[in-house]
Structure formats: C-alpha cells, structure tokens
Amino acid sequence: MEIGKLPESVLKRSVIKQLHVKRPEVGAGPGIGEDCATVQIGPDEEMVLSTDPITGTASDIGELAVTISVNDLASAGAEPIGILLTVLLTPRMREAKLKAIMQQVDAACKRYNVQVIGGHTEVTDAVTQPLISVTAVGKVKKGQMVSTGGAKPDMDLVLTKWIGLEGTSIIAKDYEEQLLTKLPESLVETAKSFDKYLSVLPESQIAVQHGVAAMHDVTEGGIFGALWEMGEASGIGLDVDLKSIPVKQETIEVCEFFGINPYELISSGAMLIATEDGNGLVRKLNEAGIASAIIGKSNSSNDKRVLSGDEVRFLEPPKADALYAVNSNI
C-alpha cells in the first residue's frame, strides 16, 4: 500500500466493515471524514475523543502532536480536556531529544489548557524517526457535537486562514538547504514560521457561537481532500471557486520548487466550515483577526466540482498527501 491515508475503498472495506461491536454509550463513531467519536458521560454531556499520529516530519513533533489533536476536538465544537501520548523512539535517539519533545508538548498544553493524562513511551527499531500518536479527550453538551457530515444543500463553504500552512512549514524546515539554492532566505524563513497559524481552536469557538452545520480541519490530502470528505460525509455536492481558495505566495513558491500541488498538501491551520450565513461568519472571524473567505456552495447533486474560469475539475477521493511526494521529486 502507498504511504499516507488509506484509500477510501480500503478504509470502508478492510477497516470500518470489520468493526461490529456497538455500545449504547457511544454516539458518533467511525466514518468517512469523521475525526471524533462521542461517549455519553452524563445526562447532558458527552465526551469527545480523537486520535492522530504525527508521521510526516521529525521537526517540532511535540508541538504538532498537541496542536493537531486539539484541532480535531475544535472541529467537533468540543472543549479540549486532556491527551494521552504514545511516544516511539529510535535506538539512536538521545535523551536530550526526548526531553526537548516533551518540553514542546508541555508548552502547547499550557497554551490550550490541556493536561497530559497518561500514555506510553518506548524505544523500538520498528520506527526510523521519533513518532508520537495522540488520543485527545474533550467534552461537549449532549447533542451539540459538530460533525463533518452535517452540511446541507445551499450552504456557504467558508475556509479560514490559508491552505498548505502545515505542509509549507514542514517542507521549509526539513528541506531548507535545497530551497535556499533557488529561493530567497526571507521567503524560506517566512514559510518556516507558518506553524504559528496551526491552531483552529479560536475560529471553531467563533463558528460554533455563530451557528454552523459542519466543520472539518484541513489535514492530510489538503483542501481537495477536505472538500471531498465533507461532501461524502454529508451526502451533498459542492461547487468551489478555485480562485477563491486563499493560499500564501510562500506556499506556491515552495510547492513549485518540488513540483507538488498546494491544494493536495496537508493544511492544518485551515478550517472548512459549512454554514447558512457565510458572510456573517466571515465578518465575525475578520473582526477577531482571523482571515477567512467563502470559497463555494453546497448543492443537492453528487458532484464535487472545482471551477476555474471555464475549466471544471471533479474531485476524487483523496490519495497520498503531496508532502510524501517531496522526497521523490528531489
């Protein structure tokens, strides 16, 4: 199998269809495009859980592990509470590196007021670089979890910040020397700094207060993958204006250098939102200093279309993230 997310057909056939145990306490469970599950913990409250590994880079993985996991909870409209960490280390790694990773974890936890509530740490030759897998725990009022699959026809599709932020930052850090052979140092430094935009917790809180039908943080597979997943999970079609999708010039330059598609690049930091009042949400986000734009509209068809002038592209299930093509394009 190829590196990256499992193809949707394999995920349905060999993962979801093999799971048969159901419990009454469990509300939302596994599904295409869904990042969180809920467990009822009281008459009017549900626990929200999510899990994610950090595998695309060895840079700043402690920071990324916490932020990406909190983003999953934020996409569900949940308040983050804690995380459990599984940390796998290579035999050649020094203890100082482990300490630095955990200091990153602690700094991010302080920022989001999230506690490390347990985990497991192990040295193994089964990995070639440090790997962190996180289970995040949050809470939400019963029946108020926001799903990826809640969008309805004729809703505005709003995207916060810019696509490709996480991927651009990772590439700029991991391949800085190569980039500097053709790109200005100032551009590479700016690209590296995009990790400061990766949290979507502020926009999720504003969106929930405004009223939204669906939210999905844009991760592996990029914006094209997130659009497909929201459309598929919601059973709707989409019409998206390619020119309305916000992207930083640094992302374009970095992607052109390696010959990869920025619209298929991992994009934590951007949130895809379906709402009946896109203009009102964009206005509230902008008032809070969060860039956002309406990029399209949902419809009652099954077609997920990206429009660029007279050109029409029909989206397909996401394949391996563009980040994984960087090595092969050097």
- Name all domains of the chain by residue range, CATH numbers in brackets: 8-141 (3.30.1330.10), 148-329 (3.90.650.10)
- The tokens describing 220, both together, are 């592996």
Q: What percent of the chain has pLDDT over 90?
A: 57
Residues 6+ apart with CB under 8 A from 213: 146, 150, 151, 152, 155, 274, 275, 276
73: helix, coil or strand? helix
Residue with tokens 């599904």: 31
The runs of H, that is alpha helices, within 113-234 are 165-174, 176-180, 185-192, 201-210, 222-234
How high does pLDDT run on average in the chain? 88
Q: What percent of the chain has pLDDT over 70?
A: 88
| Whether the predicted pLDDT of 206 surpasses 80 | yes
What would the pLDDT profile of 276-285 be if each residue is shown by its tens digit? Answer: 999 999 999 9
- The tokens describing 273, both together, are 């939102």
- The pTM for the full model equals 0.83
Handedness of CA 302, 229, 275, 310 (dihedral sign): negative
pLDDT category at 118 given cuts 50, 70, 90 is confident
Cα separation, 127 vs 320, in Å, equals 20
Is-contact 74 187, C-beta < 8 A? no
Cα separation, 268 vs 23, in Å, equals 32
| Whether the predicted pLDDT of 3 surpasses 60 | no
Which strands form 79-89's sheet, in the order they lie side by side?
A: 37-42, 45-54, 131-141, 79-89, 115-123
What would the pLDDT profile of 269-309 be if each residue is shown by its tens digit? Answer: 999 999 999 999 999 999 999 999 999 999 999 999 999 99
| Whether the predicted pLDDT of 312 surpasses 80 | yes
The DSSP secondary-structure symbol of 254 reads: H
The DSSP secondary-structure symbol of 276 reads: S
Residues 6+ apart with CB under 8 A from 77: 140, 144, 145, 146, 204, 207, 208, 215
Q: In the chain, count of helices (H) and strands (E)? A: 10, 12
**pLDDT at res. 280:** 98
Residue with tokens 């592990």: 65
pLDDT category at 1 given cuts 50, 70, 90 is very low
